[in-house]
Amino acid sequence: MSLRAPKGTDDILPPASRVWRRLLNAWEQMAEVYGYDLIMVPIFEMTEVFSRGVGESSEVVQKQMYTFDDKGGRSLTLRPEGTAGVVRAFLQAGAQGVMKVSYSGPMFRYERPQAGRRRQFYQVGLEYLGSPEPDADAEVIELGYRYLTSAGVPDVTVRLNSLGDAACRPAYVEILRSWLEDRRSLLCADSQQTLDLNPMRVLDCKICADVVAEAPSPVDSLCDACQAHFASVQERLVADGVRYLLDPRLVRGLDYYTRTAFEYVGSALDSAQTALGGGGRYDGLAEVLGGPPVPGVGLALGIDRIVLSVPDPELPAIDVFVANTDTRRAEALLMLGELRSSGIRSDNLPDQRSLKAQFKAADRRGARAVVVVGDEWETGQVVVKRLDDGSQETIAREEIATWLKSH
C-alpha cells in the first residue's frame, strides 16, 4: 500500500498497545489519588499561546512548531506541549485560587525522528496552579517519580536545578552572557545566535556541552528567597524518599521556568533520549499570556519513551475466553454476559468454530482460562480449563467468578 503514516508518527496496535493502555490507566489513577482533576484543552491553539508562552528563543518555537493558517486566516499551532494551553484555559475561565489538573494526549514537534524522538508523541502531565509553595514543587516531583517507579522503569533519578526568579535571574544572565561572550568563537553557529537572544539556552546545546561545562550555574546566583525555596523542595524530596541529583547545567528547553526545574532519567534509554519527563515552576507564565500573576508548577512525562524503558511483559488482552460446543452458542453468550457483568475481562469468537480453533484464539489473546459451555449447562455447570498447566474442572456456572479469583 502506498499510503503510510507521516514520518515521525506511529500506529500503536495490539499487542503493543496493551502496555500503553496499562500506562495511561495507571496515570489516570495516580493523578486522581493525588487530588488532580481532569482538564481537557484543544490540541491546537492560537500560535501566540506558544510563541509567547514557551518563548521565542526556545528551539521548540523557533524550529519545531506545526503552524498553519486556517481558512479564516488565523495562525494556529498544533500544541508542542501542554502547559501553555492549560494556563491559557485557567486565565480564560477567570479561575482563582488553587487548581490541580492532569491531562494526557498527543503533542507535536517537528524533530528529526528517531527512537524515542517522534513528531507526534504522547505526554501525560499535570499542572498545580495557584500555589507558590515549595511543597507543591515537591509533590509534583514525587508524583512523577512514583509513577515512573511503579511503571517498572529501572533506576529512576530526578535531575534537579533552580533557575532563579525575576529578582535574581537578570544578574545571573548577565554574568553568563559575559562568560559566554569571552568564548564566543568556541560556540557552534546556532549557539552564537542564541547567545544574543537567551544565553541560558546555550547551556542546553548538545554540541557546546564541553565548552559550557565550566560555565557559571544559576544556583550560584540565587537570591535568598530562591535559595530558601530550593532548600525546602529538597528537604521534602528527602523526606519523601525521592532519589535526586543536583544538576547545575539543567536549564530545560522551554523558556517559562522560574526556580525549580527537573527531569527524570532512567537507566534503560541511552544518549540524547534519556529524559523520560520533566517540568518545573513557571511563576511568570500567566503574565506573559496576558493574565494576572498565577504561580504554577507542573510536569509532563513522555509515554513513548517510558514504553521503551519498561520490560515488555506480554500483557494478556483478556483473562477468560468463552468457548462452546456446536449447539451451545446462545448459552455461551449468556455466560459471557455474566462474566462481563462481574467485571471479568472476557471474550469469544464472533462466529461458531471448532473447539480447537476457539482454544487457539484463547491462546492468542493471552487468556488465563477457557470456560467451555457444553451439555453440562443443563445441570448449571461449565468446564473451566487453565491454559498454563492444562488442568480442568467442572464447576457451577455461578461459581465461575470466585474460581477465577482464586486460580
Rounded CA-CA distance 328/349 in Å is 13
Q: Which of 247, 283, 304, 331 binds ligand HAM (CB under 6 A)?
A: 304
DSSP letters along 13-68, please? -TTHHHHHHHHHHHHHHHHHHTTPEE----SEEEHHHHHHHT-TTSHHHHH--EEE
Piece of 77-85, 130-138, 165-173, 216-224 that binds ligand HAM (CB under 6 A):
77-85
Indicate the residue among 269 and 384 with the shorter CB distance to ligand HAM. 269
Q: Which of 58, 77, 83, 346 binds ligand HAM (CB under 6 A)?
A: 83
Helix (H) or strand (E) holding 84: helix 83-92
Is 199 near ligand HAM (CB under 6 A)?
no
Count of residues binding ligand HAM (CB under 6 A)? 27
All three cell numbers of 333, joined, read: 453468550
- Specify the residue for cell string 492549560: 86
Is 53 near ligand HAM (CB under 6 A)?
no
Instruction: List, in order, residues 6 or more apart from 393 with CB less than 8 Å away.
Output: 383, 384, 403
Q: Which of 31, 276, 307, 339 binds ligand HAM (CB under 6 A)?
A: 276
- The minimum distance between CB 117 and ligand HAM, in angstroms, equals 5
Is 176 near ligand HAM (CB under 6 A)?
no
Q: Which of 219, 299, 307, 384 binds ligand HAM (CB under 6 A)?
A: 299
Q: Which of 53, 55, 85, 125 binds ligand HAM (CB under 6 A)?
A: 125
Q: Which of 45, 59, 81, 255 binds ligand HAM (CB under 6 A)?
A: 81
Q: Which of 36, 59, 91, 127 binds ligand HAM (CB under 6 A)?
A: 127
C-beta of residue 321 within 8 angstroms of C-beta of residue 340: no
Torsion angles phi and psi, residue 60, rounded to 5: -55, -50
Rounded CA-CA distance 321/220 in Å is 62
DSSP SS3 for 182: coil
Output the residue with the shortest Cβ distance to ligand HAM: 302
- The minimum distance between CB 136 and ligand HAM, in angstroms, equals 12
Q: Which of 82, 85, 164, 218 binds ligand HAM (CB under 6 A)?
A: 82
Is 117 near ligand HAM (CB under 6 A)?
yes
* Ranges assigned E (strand) in 163-284: 244-246, 258-265, 275-281
- The minimum distance between CB 298 and ligand HAM, in angstroms, equals 3
Burial of 182 (0-12, 13-18, 19+ CB in 10 A): exposed
Cis preceding-peptide flag for 15 (omega within 30 of 0)? yes
CA 87 to chain centre: 18
Q: Which of 88, 236, 259, 305 binds ligand HAM (CB under 6 A)?
A: 305
Q: Which of 278, 284, 295, 374 binds ligand HAM (CB under 6 A)?
A: 278
Is 50 near ligand HAM (CB under 6 A)?
no
All three cell numbers of 20, joined, read: 500503553
- The minimum distance between CB 265 and ligand HAM, in angstroms, equals 9
Indicate the residue among 127 and 142 with the shorter CB distance to ligand HAM. 127
Is 88 near ligand HAM (CB under 6 A)?
no
Rounded CA-CA distance 407/394 in Å is 14
Is 200 near ligand HAM (CB under 6 A)?
no
C-beta of residue 90 within 8 angstroms of C-beta of residue 286: yes
Residues that bind ligand HAM (CB under 6 A): 81-83, 109, 111, 116-118, 121, 123, 125, 127, 253-254, 275-280, 282, 298-300, 302, 304-305
